[in-house]
């Protein structure tokens, strides 16, 4: 069973309910999907039905493959039963399957036995499986024998498949209601091992729950699987988190493979946090584009009021790329930068110290000239991925709340350009930035040598597979491989990562084929004007929070932006709601107690006209708002 609690799910819904779109969204992050089409082709005289089938085909991504079972409805069970554990299947839909099954061309047949075979195949399916089916139980009993036969057969099929599936969801008017299993009750979701919960000030919260040997709370009830837990409107100390994926382990250790199912951020907390910002007592228009960082932090922390990141760790990857990729680089410069960071000197170390962030320099394998031979061996790729995963787990166990990923090796720009060319079809000259010398001059000759190295590497590998590990071995090299492992490990431990530079975004591109969820845990502070970062961000759907073209070195750009991002999160968590017109909390008294707010100067001069005394006791509260000489409110 996958991380979100289901391996097989049945999506029910009426006509035009949105059931197919919802089913497609469940598998949207899978690197490849096998779409099993059950309906027969439209008759030549039925243009409307043909248009419906064409719309379904047009929605499918190019990476999906299609398999049709209309010729033999009994083959659907065989397709499901033979699917492997690394596959994702989407069957749309059982209504078309029953229609073909009842066709006179396939009669006589034992329809009950065929349905039972399908249910048995679903129950034993090793693949990730989503089935779509019309819900006919809410309609009137058909008046024709054929109509009654269809509803009876489809109803029986739905019941049998629903019983075999891990989860069942009903889609009505585009809204999904999970029927099996039921929704979890607040307060029973077990806390997950990993970063300590954040407090309002951004520091780790004290542990308040006893934990068992496995790291979960003693006596905590298991959450209902397959249903996302609703985010609380206010932080209550509960860690709303799905369990981390249990990875297959073999004799050699961790196995990182395509199609892994890792956690997703909370899909409800992010929108709730952004909606909450509109209610805060802010004098201006608000946080502008930085609202995105609040939504990201809310989704990754699982609360609508996210706290500033307290503990931050910078991973600076150092590993050179040999050959033409490093053309124009000064010999020994990358090693000098790595030594400088270790010694606590230089821009990156100074910014890390000012931000209170840990700085860890990680040595990665040197990469062979990619134009002549693979950058790494297959064994080196596996070891680099495991090392990156270990680094992320180590950070999570230390209570780190945010990772910053950067690199300082020679030739990293060319390696990232080669990865983008292989994974996104990019043209090398369009994504390879200019080579700038120490004196600030542009070295066109070095840039052309780098382009030639990438071109030759792509030509050498033109018939090679384009799987994630193949790309890392042939083109990416050691630093990109370790960075990919970091992203996967951080995703498994629900740890957000701020990318900074070409190596990080190249790793994010590669990680899509291993676990599509990884990109949702990534944040991009600034594209720094780098064409590779711009393109990768566009492909990954990462919008840079800033556009100030910082170019202080990978890792340093992110740290320079970190204080601003922390301030945004602190404001979003601490500001009170805007008082309603005519309600309590006027004149800056947000608590409505009539007293001055903390930090407000009560000695401002009062320019009001004295009120005439009336009968009875007089109030010490002013009837009108105090103003200063410029006409502004005093509060």
Nearest C-alpha neighbor of 367 from the set 301, 296, 415: 415
Distance CA 93, CA 157 (A): 12
Distance CA 278, CA 67 (A): 47
| Residues 74, 81 contacting (CB under 8 angstroms) | no
Paired tokens of 501: 């530079």
Paired tokens of 635: 């509060």
Distance CA 101, CA 108 (A): 10
Tell which phi-psi region holds residue 570, choosing left (phi > 0), alpha (psi between -120 and 50) or beta: alpha
Distance CA 183, CA 11 (A): 16
Distance CA 202, CA 253 (A): 35
Residues noted as catalytic: 554
| Residues 224, 184 contacting (CB under 8 angstroms) | yes
**Collapsing DSSP states into helix, strand and coil, what is residue 558?**
helix
Terminal C-alpha separation, the chain:
57
Distance CA 613, CA 616 (A): 9
Helices (DSSP H) in 261-301: which residue ranges?
Answer: 269-277, 291-301
Distance CA 527, CA 547 (A): 7
b/e 148-175 (16+ beta carbons within 10 angstroms → b): eebbbbbebbbebbbebbbbbbbbeeee
Q: By CB neighbour count within 10 A (0-12 exposed, 13-18 middle, 19+ buried), where does 343 fall?
A: exposed
Paired tokens of 226: 């397959």
Paired tokens of 564: 């601003």
């Amino acid at each position: 069973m996958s991380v979100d609690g289901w391996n097989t799910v049945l999506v029910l819904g009426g006509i035009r309910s949105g059931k197919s779109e919802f089913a497609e969204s469940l598998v949207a992050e899978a690197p490849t999907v096998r779409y099993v089409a059950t309906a027969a082709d439209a008759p030549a005289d039925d243009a409307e039905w043909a248009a419906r089938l064409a719309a379904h085909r047009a929605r499918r991504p190019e990476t999906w493959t299609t398999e049709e079972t209309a010729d033999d409805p009994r083959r659907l069970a065989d397709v499901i039963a033979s699917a492997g554990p690394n596959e994702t299947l989407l069957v749309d839909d059982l209504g078309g399957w029953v229609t073909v099954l009842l066709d006179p061309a396939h009669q006589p047949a034992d329809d009950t036995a065929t349905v039972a075979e399908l249910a048995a195949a679903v129950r034993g399916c090793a693949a990730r499986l989503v089935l779509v089916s019309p819900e006919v139980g809410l309609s009137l009993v058909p008046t024709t024998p054929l109509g009654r036969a269809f509803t009876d057969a489809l109803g029986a099929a739905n019941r049998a498949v629903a019983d075999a599936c891990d989860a069942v969801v009903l889609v009505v008017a585009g809204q999904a209601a999970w029927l099996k299993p039921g929704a979890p009750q607040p307060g029973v979701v077990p806390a997950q091992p990993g970063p300590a919960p954040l407090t309002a000030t951004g520091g780790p919260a004290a542990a308040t729950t006893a934990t068992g040997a496995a790291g979960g709370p003693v006596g905590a009830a298991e959450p209902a699987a397959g249903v996302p837990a609703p985010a609380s409107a206010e932080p209550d100390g509960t860690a709303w988190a799905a369990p981390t994926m249990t990875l297959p382990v073999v004799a050699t250790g961790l196995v990182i493979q395509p199609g892994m199912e890792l956690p997703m951020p909370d899909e409800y907390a992010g929108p709730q946090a952004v909606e909450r910002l509109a209610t805060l007592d802010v004098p201006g228009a608000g946080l502008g584009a930085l609202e995105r960082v609040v939504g990201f932090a809310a989704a990754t922390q699982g609360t609508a009021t996210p706290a500033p990141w307290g503990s931050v760790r910078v991973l600076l990857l150092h590993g050179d790329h040999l050959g033409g990729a490093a053309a124009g680089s000064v010999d020994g410069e990358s090693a000098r930068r790595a030594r400088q960071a270790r010694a606590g000197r230089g821009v990156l170390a100074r910014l890390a110290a000012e931000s209170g962030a840990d700085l860890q320099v990680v040595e990665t394998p040197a990469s062979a000239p990619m134009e002549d031979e693979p950058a790494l061996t297959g064994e080196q790729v596996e070891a680099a991925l495991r090392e990156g995963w270990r680094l992320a787990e180590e950070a999570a166990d230390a209570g780190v709340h945010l990772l910053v990923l950067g690199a300082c090796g020679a030739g990293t720009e060319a390696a990232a350009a080669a990865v983008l060319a292989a994974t996104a079809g990019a043209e090398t000259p369009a994504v390879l930035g200019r080579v700038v010398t120490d004196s600030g001059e542009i070295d066109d000759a070095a840039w052309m040598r780098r382009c030639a190295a990438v071109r030759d590497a792509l030509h050498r590998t033109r018939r090679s597979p384009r799987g994630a590990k193949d790309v890392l071995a042939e083109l990416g090299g050691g630093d990109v491989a370790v960075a990919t492992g970091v992203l996967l490990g951080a995703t498994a431990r629900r740890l957000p990562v701020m990318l900074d530079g070409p190596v990080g975004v190249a790793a994010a591109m590669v990680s899509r084929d291993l676990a599509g969820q990884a990109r949702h845990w990534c944040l991009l502070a600034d594209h720094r004007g780098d064409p590779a970062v711009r393109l990768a961000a566009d492909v990954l759907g990462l919008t840079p929070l800033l556009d100030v073209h910082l170019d202080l070195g990978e890792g340093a750009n992110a740290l320079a932006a970190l204080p601003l991002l922390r301030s945004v999160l602190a404001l979003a968590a601490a500001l009170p709601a805007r008082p309603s017109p005519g309600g309590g909390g006027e004149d800056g008294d947000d608590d409505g107690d009539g007293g001055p707010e903390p930090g407000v100067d009560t000695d401002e001069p009062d320019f009001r006209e004295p009120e005439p005394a009336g009968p009875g006791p007089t109030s010490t509260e002013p009837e009108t708002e105090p103003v200063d000489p410029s006409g502004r409110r005093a509060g």
